[in-house]
Amino acid sequence: MNRFLEILVAGLALILMASTSASAFHCVAQSGNGAVGRADRVILERAQWVAMRECAAEGGNAGGHHCRIVHCRY
């Protein structure tokens, strides 16, 4: 019985520590030339940074355009 309770508690702890999209910030960055970057992260600053990086990787900072955060929501 003790072993079952240990496994149950460990399993519940893993479930509670797992990050889901419902508990994360969703940010979108967009450029004037149509490049878009999206990110889902637990920390707002990290979500913004990843969205900006994804937008730049699609060529969003080329030709005089710049990526900007369009929106972030929790």
What local confidence, expressed as pLDDT, does residue 7 receive? Answer: 77
- Asked if 27 and 39 count as a contact pair (C-beta separation under 8 A), the reply is yes
Looking at residue 13, its pLDDT comes to 65
Question: Do 41 and 28 touch, CB atoms closer than 8 A?
Answer: no
pLDDT of residue 20: 55
Distance of CA 17 to the CA centre of its chain: 16
Q: What is the domain partition of the chain in residue ranges?
A: 23-74
Q: Is the per-residue pLDDT at 2 higher than 90?
A: no
22-63 confidence digits (pLDDT tens)? 679 999 999 999 999 999 999 999 999 999 999 999 999 998
Residue type, 67: C
- Confidence tier at 12 by pLDDT (50, 70, 90): low
